[in-house]
Structure 1
Amino acid sequence: MHGIKRTRLTPQAAEAKRLKELSKIEGYLALEDEVLTRKRTKHLSEESLGKTTALLDLNPEFYTIWNFRRDILVSLFPSLSPEEVVSHLTSDLRLTTSYLLVHPKVYWIWNHRKWCLESVPVGPGDTVKWKEEFWQGELKLVEKMLDADARNFHAWDYRRYVLASLPVQRPLSDEMRYTQGKIESNFSNFSAWHCRTKTLLAIWENEGTSEAQVRKTKDQEFELVTQALWTDPGDQSGWLYYRWLIGAEPPLDVLEREIQNIRDLYEAEPDSKWCINALAHYILLLARIDSSGADKSSVMKDEARRLYRRLEDVDPDRRERYKEMGEW
C-alpha cells in the first residue's frame, strides 16, 4: 500500500515463517483426517463434537463436518433432558453467530442455524412462548446482519424463513415498512426490492385484495420506484421491480402513462441503457395491445427499432443481442 514502508524478511525469518505455516497446514490436515475417521467409524460422542468445533473454527465452509456434527447431536439428544438439548442448540447458535460475523455468505452456516431452530424441543408450559423467544432472537440477529450489509441476499432469504416460522405471525405491513426503509437508504438494494414483491403478493393473497385496490397500491409503488430510477437510472434493481409492477398485461392507460414517464427520463439521461431498453420494450408491448390501428402500431415498432439501434451504440458489448431484439 502507498505510504507504508515495506520490510524485507531476512532468509532466516522467511524460513521461520515458512515452517510456521507448514506446521499449521500439517495440524489442519491431521485434524481433518481424525474427524473424517470418526465420521466413517460413526464415533458419535461429545469428544467428536468438540473435534468438529475445532475443525469448523478453521474451516466453517466444510459442509461434510456440519453434517457429521448434526449426526452427533441427534445421537446425543435422546439421553438428554429438554433443557440440556436447548443448551446444546443455544451453544451451536452462538457458534454459528461467531462464524457469520466473518463468513456472512456461507450457505452451510445458515443451514445449520435452521436445523438448530427446527430441533428446539417442546418446552414446559407455554410452548408457543418458549419457541417465540428463539425465533425473535433470530429476527434480531438477521436485522443486525442486514444493518451491516443490507444487500446480503443470504440474510434476506433467512429473514423470510424466520418471519414465516414465527409462532405468532407479524403483520405483513411491518415488512413493507422494513423493506421501504432499506430501499430508501440504498435504491440499489435488489434483495429488498425482491422481498417487497413477495410481501405484496402475500398481502394481496391473504386479504383477497380487489383489483382496484391492487392498482391503487401499485400506483403508490410506481412513485417509490420512480424515485429510484431518477436517482440512478443505471442501476438494474429498480428497473426489475418496475417491470414486475407493470407486468405482462397492464391496463392500457397505465402503460401509456409509464411510457411517457420513461420518455421524460430518457430525455434527461439519453445514454442510460436500462432506460432505452425499457422504453423499447414497453413501446412494443403497447403496439401489441393497442387496438388503434395498424398504422399506429407500425409507427411504434419503427420507434422501438430505432431505440434498439441506439442501444447498439450505448452498450456495444451486447450489440448482437440488441440486433436480434430489433428484428421481428
Structure 2
Amino acid sequence: MTNFALFFRNYGILVVTIGLFLLLALTTDGFLTFRNMRNILDQQSTVLIAACFMTMCIISGNFDVSAASVFVAAPLVALVVENATGSIPLAVLAALLTGVLMGGFNGLVVTRLQVNSFIATLASSFMFFGVGYLVSDRSILRPETDGWRDIARTRIFELTSATWFAFAIVILAGFLLARTRFGRNVYACGANREAARLAGVNVDRVQMITFVLLAVSAAFAGVLNASRTISAQPSDDFSFVFATLTAVIVGGTSIAGGQGAIWRTVVAVFFLAFLTNGFNLHQIDPIWQRLIEGMVILAAVSVDAWTQRRH
C-alpha cells in the first residue's frame, strides 16, 4: 500500500470533513453560527454515544443491528419505572439494566450458540421491539415528574447535558479501545479470532463485553432521546441503527473486523451531520439527500474493500 493510500485510509475522513465544513461556512448563511453548531451537537449526541461502541463491536468481528430496538425499548422500561416510583435515578438504572440484559442475550447467542451476529441480532431486534410493546401496553408513555426533561436538556455553559454526556462517553470509549488491554484484545479478536485464542485471549468474553457495552450505550441514548421529546413510544423503527452503522462505516471501520478507531467514527458523525445540515439550509429535496447519502456510504464501503485488497 502506497504512502498516499495509507494516509487516505487513516485520515481521509478528517480531510473531507474539514473541507465540507469550510465549504459550508463560506457558502451557507446560518451554518457557522453558535446556535446551529449547538443544535448539531445536541442532535448528534445520541448517535455519538452508540456509534462509539458500535465501532468497538464491529472491530471485534461482529455486527449488532439490535441497537435500534434497545434504543426504543429501554426508555419505555425507564418510564414505566418512573411512572410507578417517581424516581428518575431508578428509572435510568432500569433502562441501563435493560441494556445489560439485552446485550448479554445477544452475546450469549453469538458466542455460545455460534449464530452469525447479523442474523442473531436481527432476530433479537424483533424480540426487543416486542418487549417495548408489552411494557408500554402499545401506548405512548410520558413522565410523571418535571425533572425527566432535565436529563438531556439542562444547559451547562450553553451546551445541553446530552452533549456533555456524549463528550464524556466518547472520551471513555476512545481510552478503552486505544489505551487498555481490553481494547487490544478487541482488535485481536476481529483481526484473527483463532490467533487471538491461541495467544490467550478469552475471545467469547471480549465479544460478550462489546455486545453489552453497545446495548447499554443504546439504552442510555434512548433515555436521552425520551428526555428530549418528553415521551417514548413503541415502534419497529430501525433508523437509529442505520444512522449509527453509517457513521461507523463512513468513518473507515473495516466491516471485516480488526481495524477502526473511535475518533474516525466521531469525525464521520459530524461529516454526515454537516452534510445533512447543509442540505437542509440549502433546501435540497429529501429524495436527493437520500441518493447522495447512499452514494457516500457506497463510496466508503468501496474504499474499505479496495484497501483490504491492497493490504
TM-score under structure 1 normalisation?
A: 0.25
Answer 1 or 2: higher relative contact order, Cα 8 Å, separation at least 6.
2
Structure possessing the higher radius of gyration over alpha carbons: 1
